[in-house]
Amino acid sequence: MRDYTILAPEGMHARPATALVKLARQFQASILLKKGMKEVKLNSLLNILSMGVKGGEVVTVLLDGVDEGTAADALDAFFKEGLKDW
């Protein structure tokens, strides 16, 4: 479980959400995004957009599976570096 603050002022819109789904699909691990009490799988653009994540909000990523360590490293890079460029 890892927490991330969304650095992009626009929040999680369609372009970064699409990139996040593509990234998550590369791994066998189950990957969930949580904001408040709501959790969604990172396997669908609509799942992510339904969260309504805005800039400055904190989200939690939950990982479970054989390659969760590798997935966690890739997601770290995405949230810390890739997301702020959108």
Helix axes 68-77, 14-24, angle to 10 degrees: 160
DSSP assignments along 28-56, one per residue: SSEEEEEETTEEEETT-HHHHHTT---TT
Contacts of 85 (CB under 8 A, 6+ apart): none
* Active site positions, annotated: 13
